[in-house]
Structure 1
Amino acid sequence: MLSRVADSIYWLNRYIERAENVARFVDVNLNLMLDLPSGVTQQWRPLVITTGDLALFEERYGEATADNVIHFLTFDLDYPNSILSCLHAARENARSIREIISSEMWEEVNTFYHLVKEASEQNSHNIFHKLFFHVKFASHRFAGVMDATMSHNEGWHFGQMGRLLERADKTDRILDVKYFILLPSAKWVGSPLDRIQWIALLKSTSAYEMYRKAQHRIVPSGVAEFLILNREFPRSINFCLQETERCLHQITGTSKGSWCNSAERALGKLCSKLGYTTIEDVFEVGLHQFLDRLQSEMNDVDAKISETFFSNYTMSSEPLESEETQTMTQVMVS
């Protein structure tokens, strides 16, 4: 498989998943606003802090009001991680490999992009709840169409890796939002407000029903354990990374427990560590500190995947030039 094809499929899926998760990311705050008791101010600045783009936001918008943060994360085409920017990048990646993906996949990406683009032209605060709902389900439709219409070959596995790594990354960030938003003061710990926030976080990851089936009480340690360490829930970090490792081994042909490149080694070490981690270990380190370290390790895995398979070709969010100008090297698979 050509490096440019593998790279585009990988990033096509990362960007679609990123758009969905940014929608979840913002929606958790919008939902909290409906349930917060009077006198409690909703915070929006922490959402920008957890993206790592606070300096850029403050330079361009100044105050972190609801309208400013929502526009920045949803419609700002000059911000590469906004929903609209992600879908533009996904569409360009899909356009570059239309001969590889199914026509149904292209139609889904194109429709998805125009859905959000048309919403951006309205830019009304009243549309956001409905828009974020449609963004989440458009992402689900794309994943389902890809699964049903694309051969489950190397390309499909690269797409799965992109989607799963992005999902693990954003589950980490959504959980970290709770740390940063936290409570107005320590006296709220264990209060109804605390419980409301944890429920909103579970709902933002579509985890509420599955969590309640596994545990009866909403407690911080239980929620954190479910979203970080659960082996069966498809949005937990552990599940996503284990499935990413499985896809990587399918591409290289090496058996689980062994490795033939730096990406497999880094991912294998991370999966092994998570597999033997308990929630007590997490809280002993500190939830934010653990999530921050995990974020860095996932970024390292992504970098090593790029070095191993895409080092001779980088497209990401930029449109393809003519095919003659691209480096047409083969992906290094055994």
Structure 2
Amino acid sequence: MLSRVADALYWMNRYVERAENYARFLDVNFNLSLEMPPGGTEQWKPVIVTTGDYNLYESTHDNVDKTSVIHFLGFDENNPNSIYNSICNARENARAIRPDITREVWEQINSLYYHVREGVNKKQWEKHDPRNYFLEVKKSCQLLYGIFDSTISRTEGYHFGKIGQLIERADKTSRVLDVKYHMLLPSVEEVGSPLDLVQWASLLKSVSAYDMYRKKRGKLSPLFISEFLIFDKEFPRSMMNCLEEAEESLQAITGSSQGYANMAEKRLGRLKSNLEYADIEEVFNVGLHEYLDNFQLELNEVSNAIYLTFFSWDNFSNQTQTTNQ
């Protein structure tokens, strides 16, 4: 497979996953703001921190308020990671490889593009209640996942797309967990309070984990919720599950089943092993923030290794020269 095509499939799915996650965060946080007790402070800054875009937001905005955050993360054409730009970038990647995807995938991503463009034109962020807009973004992204899974042959292209989706998903799950633990509560005294429990419930809802967590654990507990989102091998948005499925797709591409054949497999395998041989008590002893921060750094290394192994022209040139010698 051409590295150009593989790169486009990887980033097409990664951008779609990013857009869906942003829609989740905004929808859930809007609901949370409605559930705040009288006089409570709405928590919009953590949403921006979750996405990793706070420095950019701070450079262009004086205050953190609901309307500004919704516009910045959902519609801002100057924010490269906004829902609007993520879908535009996903569509551009899809357009560049139109012969390599199915008509159904192209039609759905095109439909999603026109939906978000209409949202910008109609200034949906100024609406009193924009939740229906974000619900449609989530549903459209999820429909695209289903179409991709049911119409794309399980070739290298399919697996590159899945790897992009899963790496983005693992990153966002780690970020939303990290931000809740450190930023949402105004004081240590409120740990375990009704407000604390409402926020933990909203965290689970932001990654569509509430029902599955309650079925498995029942009681809301920071320790159990953290364990579920980091280590659970059955929940599709847990960090562990994302890495396991990404490794399976990577091995399907390279044909290896033991050890590693390249730096991408080495980095991903090592990160997955770090999770496999850890437990939640160890994580809390180290510090949840420190553990998740290190996870995000190592996940970035995995992403860089995938680029250098499969997409970099320099790497391809070096491999060609080695073959010709």
Residue 59 of structure 2 corresponds to residue 41 of structure 1: no
1:190 aligned to which of 186, 189, 192: 192
Distance 1:126 1:245 in 2: 43
Amino acid at match of 2:209: A
Map 1:10-25 → 2, pairs under 5 A: 10-25=10-25
Distance 2:292 2:31 in 1: 23
- Corresponding position of 1:321: none
Aligned in 2, Cα 1:127/1:101: closer, same or farther, shift over 3 Å?
Answer: farther
Distance 2:5 2:92 in 1: 12
Amino acid at match of 2:8: S
Amino acid at match of 1:142: L
Distance 2:31 2:230 in 1: 22
- Corresponding position of 2:323: none
Distance 1:76 1:180 in 2: 27
Deviation at 1:137, TM superposition (A): 1.2
- Corresponding position of 2:263: 262
Deviation at 1:127, TM superposition (A): 4.7
- Corresponding position of 1:245: 247
Give the unaligned 5+ runs of structure 2.
321-325
Residue 313 of structure 2 corresponds to residue 312 of structure 1: yes
Amino acid at match of 1:262: M
Q: Secondary structure at the match of 2:130?
A: helix
1:5-37 superposed Cα distances (whole Å, 9 cap, x missing partner) = 000000000000000001112223212112111
Distance 2:182 2:66 in 1: 16
CA contact (8 A) 1:179 1:288 kept: yes
Identity %: 51
Q: Secondary structure at the match of 1:99?
A: helix
Richer in helix (by share): 2
Aligned length: 316
- Corresponding position of 1:226: 228
Hey, which bits of structure 1, 4+ residues long, moved more than 4 A?
none
CA contact (8 A) 1:172 1:295 kept: yes
1:191-219 superposed Cα distances (whole Å, 9 cap, x missing partner) = 11111001111111111110011011000
TM-align CA RMSD: 1.7
CA contact (8 A) 1:40 1:184 kept: no
1:163 aligned to which of 159, 162, 165: 165
Residue 291 of structure 2 corresponds to residue 276 of structure 1: no
Residue 320 of structure 2 corresponds to residue 287 of structure 1: no
Distance 2:251 2:190 in 1: 46
CA contact (8 A) 2:16 2:90 kept: yes
CA contact (8 A) 1:234 1:240 kept: yes
Distance 2:163 2:55 in 1: 30
1:215 aligned to which of 214, 217, 242: 217
- Corresponding position of 1:73: 73
Deviation at 1:52, TM superposition (A): 3.0
CA contact (8 A) 1:46 1:180 kept: no
After TM superposition, the score normalised by the length of structure 1 is 0.91
After TM superposition, the score normalised by the length of structure 2 is 0.94
Deviation at 1:173, TM superposition (A): 1.3
Distance 1:13 1:183 in 2: 34
Distance 1:202 1:52 in 2: 19
1:121-168 superposed Cα distances (whole Å, 9 cap, x missing partner) = 222333521111111111111111011111110000000001111111
